[in-house]
Structure 1
Amino acid sequence: MTDTLSGRPGPREEGWATRDGRRLHWTTTGSGEHTIVLEAGIAASSSVWSLIRDPVATFTRVVTYDRVGYGTGKPRDTTVEDALLDLEAVLEQSGAKGPLVLVGHSWGGVLMRLFTARHPDRVAALVLVDATHEGMRIMRSGAFILLSRIAAKARARKARTGALRRSLEAGRGELGRALSALPTALRDDLLDELSSPAIWHQSAYELRCVPSSLRSLPTARPDVSVIAVVGTQAVGWAERKARASIRAAYETWLPTVPNGRLLEASRSGHVVPLQDPELLVDTLRELVTSLSTDERGP
């Protein structure tokens, strides 16, 4: 049972889901009526949820996993369809039951929306954490994606020379600033991951999937509760422009969703799971409580 009184997470299991020669490491923690599935963004393993998983597992079940090419996996070309089938395999082989609360950060939010469109009967709610949105015109630009893939390959080269690790350790850039505020053990683990060329090679594969994933999003709005968490902190012109773009996209879209609302993460920029984990834990606790109350009725 979930140990909500002591604040300790419930039981943990881990294993490997296999599909089409692909192996995906998964972990389930806690127990409860609802299962929360945490989906990372591009260039991120499930480690990005390290500050979220155990606190949430004190009140419900949590599933995390590593997409192909992250964690212990080797880089491999992939498609949007591969990503969705891999997630289905993880949920089946980890024994995850519905109703599901899907939480997706960055591009992971797009994958969660696509999964919801495919399996609407399994999903109770969506939480989109500074998630890529089709209303962000730049994300549909072939030139932007090409430049992003070039940047990812450049980071792989910097990772090989050690220059990327030195930059992150110095707290440079949005990611470096996010890492600098973390507990030492988690910071070191993430530095090890991000200093591997493999993670940047995989991100280049996934970046190629972004335009097709946005085109695949259904025009019908999800008929579930949708919370969009948007970071507000920005340093420099480029980050401010990105913050404004994502906020504008959700301010336009959420009023068209039957049960949508916008939530500001005032302590973070893009990397909300690392910069403001308390906000996400509190949001998920309130959401699960609300869903449980609604399902039980008066």
Structure 2
Amino acid sequence: MLSVILQASAVSAGDFSGPVDIGRGRSLYLECRGHGSPTVILEAGALSRADVWSRDKLDPAGSRTMVLPGVAAFTRVCAYDRPGTLLEVDPKLDPNGPLFLPSRSTPVPQPRTARDRVADLHALLTAAKIPGPYVLVGHSAGGLITRLYASIYPDDVVGMVLIDTTPENVWLRFHQALPPAQWNTFEALTVKNQALLDAYPEAEQWWTAPLESDASIRQVREARAHTPMRPIPLFVLVHGIPFAAPFPGWPSGKMEAILSGLHEDLAHMTPDAKLVVAKKSGHDVHQDQPELVIAAIRRVVDAVRDPSTWKADSRKSP
């Protein structure tokens, strides 16, 4: 009992990295740094471990400030490994090592829905005694988790940053826009058909992990309909470099227009939300332009601390 109390105290107070017991024989890997309120919670994309917020994949030997240490300079920030996530290892750094490192959290059967992930996050924050209120930051499919969390625990969430997040209607809109043959190919690619991926390697970035199941999409759609987001500071960052065509004949212009419209819709979930296009970024804005993500989080944190800093007319820059 004493060790559990000491661990919870360490997590809530100082720099911490390690497993946190959430009960039922499970632990989740957690990393926290910095001091201050609100606490920023980083929710990575479908496959990514917590490292994605602190490791520079593009320039490992460089000196860029990545998101987690950058945010730790002005408030408390935490990231964690969801079960089923992984870390891609650069073979140049370790030619004889593994290509991927698994999640540092207790494995659980897959697939899991957004609601399952929300339950895990809430159990983690409770067990680790991470003080609220929270600013939630979600990348890609992680945005489904942050949005559903804010719907289920609205009193705990005071701000949000969505980084090229997955809109709940994206697959429906793609289905409507694509000819049947193209949709069938795309749908096969998104469930990781290895033969198709070998033929169309560019489709890898379109692959959605089990998190983005029909159930997850439905959960977020229903939550938005029944529990609209409170008028909290919301910053939406989107990619400026188009997705690679997953296969020949892909109507990139049409699909990018659909994504743009859906991201605009996300930016209307709250009054005075900010929408910024990261012109030099692909889908992984937090890796391509981490300074933009840090600045967006700073804007939201500042707005939580002093609402007068959140101006409706400043939608063009963090």
Q: Shared fold (TM-score greater than 0.5)?
A: yes
Aligned counterpart for 1:207 among listed residues 207, 213, 235: 213
Query: Displacement of 1:62 after TM fit?
Result: 0.8
> Are the structure 2 counterparts of residues 256 and 57 from structure 1 closer, same or farther at C-alpha, using a change threshold of 3 Å?
closer
Matched residue, 2:109 = 76
> Aligned partners of 1:157, 1:248: CA distance in 2, in Å?
29
Range with greater deviation from structure 2 (285-294 or 117-126)? 285-294
Query: Displacement of 1:231 after TM fit?
Result: 0.7
Matched residue, 1:115 = 149
CA RMSD across the alignment = 3.5
> Aligned partners of 2:233, 2:203: CA distance in 1, in Å?
34
Gaps of 5+ in 2: 1-13, 55-65, 86-102, 310-318
Matched residue, 2:240 = 232
Query: Displacement of 1:11 after TM fit?
Result: 2.7
1:87 correspondence with 2:102: no
Aligned counterpart for 1:60 among listed residues 72, 75, 85: 75
Query: Displacement of 1:174 after TM fit?
Result: 7.6
Q: Deviations over 1:189-245 (max 9, x none)?
A: xxxxxxxxxxx9x92365354433333332223321111111110144565544322
> Aligned partners of 1:174, 1:278: CA distance in 2, in Å?
26
Letter in 2 for 1:55: G
Q: Secondary structure of the equivalent of 1:115?
A: helix
> Aligned partners of 2:196, 2:174: CA distance in 1, in Å?
26
Structure 2 contact 35–76 (Cα < 8 Å) conserved? yes
Q: Secondary structure of the equivalent of 1:37?
A: strand
Query: Displacement of 1:63 after TM fit?
Result: 1.0
Structure showing greater Rg: 2
> Are the structure 2 counterparts of residues 256 and 34 from structure 1 closer, same or farther at C-alpha, using a change threshold of 3 Å?
closer
> Are the structure 2 counterparts of residues 89 and 248 from structure 1 closer, same or farther at C-alpha, using a change threshold of 3 Å?
same
> Are the structure 2 counterparts of residues 135 and 80 from structure 1 closer, same or farther at C-alpha, using a change threshold of 3 Å?
closer
Range with greater deviation from structure 2 (127-136 or 276-285)? 127-136
> Aligned partners of 2:25, 2:184: CA distance in 1, in Å?
28
Letter in 1 for 2:221: R
1:47 correspondence with 2:51: yes
Query: Displacement of 1:273 after TM fit?
Result: 1.4
Matched residue, 1:189 = none
Q: Secondary structure of the equivalent of 2:303?
A: helix
Q: Deviations over 1:22-79 (max 9, x none)?
A: 4321111111121000101212222221221111111111110111212234362223
Range with greater deviation from structure 2 (271-280 or 247-256)? 247-256
> Aligned partners of 1:257, 1:209: CA distance in 2, in Å?
24
> Aligned partners of 2:24, 2:175: CA distance in 1, in Å?
31
The percent of aligned pairs where both chains have the same amino acid is: 29
1:106 correspondence with 2:136: no
Matched residue, 1:291 = 304
Range with greater deviation from structure 2 (89-98 or 248-257)? 248-257
- Greater share of helix: 1
> Are the structure 2 counterparts of residues 239 and 36 from structure 1 closer, same or farther at C-alpha, using a change threshold of 3 Å?
farther
Gaps of 5+ in 1: 1-9, 176-199
Structure 2 contact 118–145 (Cα < 8 Å) conserved? yes
> Aligned partners of 1:135, 1:107: CA distance in 2, in Å?
13
Range with greater deviation from structure 2 (240-249 or 269-278)? 240-249
Aligned counterpart for 2:162 among listed residues 128, 147, 151: 128
> Are the structure 2 counterparts of residues 152 and 34 from structure 1 closer, same or farther at C-alpha, using a change threshold of 3 Å?
same
> Are the structure 2 counterparts of residues 136 and 157 from structure 1 closer, same or farther at C-alpha, using a change threshold of 3 Å?
closer
> Are the structure 2 counterparts of residues 155 and 210 from structure 1 closer, same or farther at C-alpha, using a change threshold of 3 Å?
farther
Query: Displacement of 1:156 after TM fit?
Result: 10
Structure 1 contact 126–226 (Cα < 8 Å) conserved? yes
> Aligned partners of 2:195, 2:120: CA distance in 1, in Å?
25
Structure 1 contact 269–275 (Cα < 8 Å) conserved? yes
> Aligned partners of 1:155, 1:24: CA distance in 2, in Å?
30
Q: How many residues align?
A: 253
Q: Secondary structure of the equivalent of 1:224?
A: coil
> Are the structure 2 counterparts of residues 22 and 247 from structure 1 closer, same or farther at C-alpha, using a change threshold of 3 Å?
farther
Query: Displacement of 1:141 after TM fit?
Result: 5.7
> Aligned partners of 1:31, 1:139: CA distance in 2, in Å?
42
> Aligned partners of 2:37, 2:164: CA distance in 1, in Å?
26
Runs of 4+ deviating beyond 6 Å: 142-146
Structure 1 contact 76–205 (Cα < 8 Å) conserved? no
Matched residue, 2:35 = 31
> Aligned partners of 1:149, 1:14: CA distance in 2, in Å?
37
Structure 1 contact 132–246 (Cα < 8 Å) conserved? no
Q: Secondary structure of the equivalent of 2:306?
A: helix
